[in-house]
Structure 1
């Protein structure tokens, strides 16, 4: 079988936090040589995020492990002339340069596309921003919680009812899907380079990805549709696409879209064929008109059995449903392992989250631990042609650490 599709592809990760570095991680999963650039001293501030108040407490730096596996690290002061000179050597040999630094910072450091692109016309310059490359807000900073989740309407649209507070997002909830968009842009540009020999710039942003994620409702608004505020769960217009709580306190979501074919099997799974004799629920139209009453009946029914029994009964009738998973469930979820969604992390007994697609005939690289700060500085400098004396001088000047 083919292995390491991107072997020999040189990628510079000159980015921080999640979306842009995660795109580089996906490239590394398929064999790309990714060099992570951090500033000397404290390094990427993302290294410390797991210690922030409210984050899960662990002796392991789990965000850093996930976003920066497989990469080599160099600590480089891009504010110094020596540091920029090292970056230029990296760029001269690179296939891909990835950054999400704010546009004013790129301008000050001289690492914009117009600064680096002419040095290597075959290089793909992948730029990720919060609000896009143009317009009055192009230079604003943002995170997925602000630009992807809040600005796009997702935060408002997924709250449990119209009068509820906005729904808070989880760390990286918008960054990881956005990383896949940036990865797709990079690979598209590499395909174009194979045909034309030319590199170029690709861009993506949190706001664009947030709108794409909320695309159905956003398009409805653009078509001047009447968007109905979300009612409470017990007032939804369709009892067959609602959430219900089992006797042991677990929630599951029904997704019965073809009621003409599946309503009777659903009632069989629930052990409630008697509902067919209730004139309030005899037709689809009546079930919609009396949805609150049917939801109340289903609430009482689901409260009578534990989740494990409901899973067995619904599966037996071919009913589509989903369990509201908890983090505690993941340790025992064999399907996640069987599907390759969770894979071993390095030589440890831990697992990590795999990038979310596979290609027939290709094998992803075995995961390697994320780099310590400047772990591969000397190794990378040697590959760039620096001598031992040169490296000592760069270290003495603090351009490299």
Structure 2
């Protein structure tokens, strides 16, 4: 695939104003920018998005000049420094709103009301604007004004952590950084795209809502729906006791892991056993059908584990190279940078850092016309303030005066 092609601008001509911080809602802005929208990220003139300080403060590890915690959810945007707490700054924001198609935010309802950027205020300045909100617990109910991060509202409250807590484990597993936020931002962008389509058809704008709690419930909806139907929790199984022994993960002799998803296990059983060097297991009455394998699953899994432990990953990759059943290697983030499918499909586009080198971003997960989306780095804090204000109709004298008052950066 030629990853040098110009991205397909499916949202070309759409302007988005983003008043949001951290990863959840900014990711929505990044996806919309990937798809061709002009996304203006509004940041406080002095502090900016607090995520900018994570690496510089040493809270998370970084390398060189690239702040990956900022780049992934903010690529392709323009940054404008505005102090919305001042009347002058709020008016600047509203001037931008007047020319925008979409307004996205993750500020709490009470804060939006206090600042004068709630739905009514924004749509009063632009009746056709789509207003998208990201929240922890939804826009209604007693917890609508409660702050949240994905570890709390998504991973913990929404059932994800419980679903991945092993049998007898003392603690749930740790969540990876921004695990729910990144999924949530994509959900918001998808909702905005649907709202733009509706507005194109009917002329009517929408208010789009996505909450971290709802996202998690969607992710484990099979468990939640099943629990509602049966009245009890869906059974859990650890890898040594999986109902289908060959829908499982096995450790190789060099401490790598290979996953198999042989849902039609009888169809693939003979070929699987042959490749692990155990053709005797095909006719073994304990294992010669899905029923017997379920009853004797612990013994079956133990036998398979023993075989996989005899050889390194390279051996198993060759052994199963022509196998028709679904299987794959458990890979690390470092390995994914050289993954042939990721490279062929442009899933890791190279971005110019602006400092003479390049780095890879993960592209947003919908492509158009076989082209990658992400193309430019995240903006520096307040990098585009003057340009955006000129576009909004301000002259240079007005911009200079706004800078003097501290309303803009």
Flag whether TM exceeds 0.5 (same fold).
yes
Evaluate the alpha carbon distance shift between residue 287 and residue 360 of structure 1 in structure 2; reply closer, same or farther with a 3 A threshold: same
Partner of 2:337: 331
Which one is further off, 223-232 or 127-136? 223-232
Counterpart contact for 1:162–1:230, Cα < 8 Å: no
2: CA distance between counterparts of 1:342 and 1:3? 16
Task: Tell whether 2:385 aligns with 1:377.
Answer: yes
Q: Secondary structure at the match of 2:286?
A: helix
Evaluate the alpha carbon distance shift between residue 321 and residue 225 of structure 1 in structure 2; reply closer, same or farther with a 3 A threshold: farther
Task: Tell whether 2:139 aligns with 1:133.
Answer: yes
1: CA distance between counterparts of 2:297 and 2:161? 26
Counterpart contact for 2:363–2:372, Cα < 8 Å: no
2: CA distance between counterparts of 1:161 and 1:51? 39
Evaluate the alpha carbon distance shift between residue 3 and residue 53 of structure 1 in structure 2; reply closer, same or farther with a 3 A threshold: closer
Partner of 1:6: 11
State how many pairs are aligned. 400
Give the one of 208, 232, 255 matched to 1:249: 255
Which one is further off, 323-332 or 199-208? 323-332
Q: Shift of residue 67 of structure 1?
A: 0.9
Q: TM-score, normalised by structure 2?
A: 0.93
Partner of 1:34: 39
Which structure 2 segments of 5+ residues have no match?
Answer: 1-5
Partner of 2:99: 93
Partner of 1:352: 361
Q: Shift of residue 227 of structure 1?
A: 2.9
Which one is further off, 182-191 or 153-162? 153-162
Task: Tell whether 2:185 aligns with 1:179.
Answer: yes
2: CA distance between counterparts of 1:16 and 1:378? 21
Q: Secondary structure at the match of 1:244?
A: strand
1: CA distance between counterparts of 2:407 and 2:63? 33
1: CA distance between counterparts of 2:25 and 2:361? 19
Counterpart contact for 2:249–2:259, Cα < 8 Å: yes
Q: Shift of residue 375 of structure 1?
A: 0.7
Q: Secondary structure at the match of 2:148?
A: coil
Task: Tell whether 2:316 aligns with 1:307.
Answer: no
Counterpart contact for 1:346–1:366, Cα < 8 Å: no
1: CA distance between counterparts of 2:344 and 2:46? 41
Partner of 2:53: 48
Partner of 1:57: 62
Evaluate the alpha carbon distance shift between residue 241 and residue 366 of structure 1 in structure 2; reply closer, same or farther with a 3 A threshold: closer
Q: TM-score, normalised by structure 1?
A: 0.95
**Could you list the per-position Cα deviations for residues 79-109 of structure 1 after superposition, in whole angstroms to 9, with x for gaps in the alignment?**
0000000011011111000001111110110
Q: Shift of residue 268 of structure 1?
A: 1.8
2: CA distance between counterparts of 1:52 and 1:282? 59
Q: Shift of residue 58 of structure 1?
A: 2.0
1:241-280 correspondence runs (5 A): 241-280=247-286
Partner of 2:3: none
1: CA distance between counterparts of 2:234 and 2:200? 48
Task: Tell whether 2:183 aligns with 1:163.
Answer: no
Evaluate the alpha carbon distance shift between residue 195 and residue 79 of structure 1 in structure 2; reply closer, same or farther with a 3 A threshold: same
Q: Secondary structure at the match of 1:79?
A: coil
**Could you list the per-position Cα deviations for residues 116-148 of structure 1 after superposition, in whole angstroms to 9, with x for gaps in the alignment?**
112211110111111000001111111111111
Partner of 1:281: 287
1: CA distance between counterparts of 2:111 and 2:234? 43
Which one is further off, 27-36 or 304-313? 304-313
**Could you list the per-position Cα deviations for residues 288-320 of structure 1 after superposition, in whole angstroms to 9, with x for gaps in the alignment?**
111010111011100011112212222312121
Counterpart contact for 1:126–1:203, Cα < 8 Å: yes
Partner of 1:393: 401
- Supply the RMSD in Å over aligned alpha carbons: 1.8
Q: Secondary structure at the match of 1:239?
A: coil
Partner of 1:367: 375
Task: Tell whether 2:165 aligns with 1:148.
Answer: no
Partner of 1:114: 120
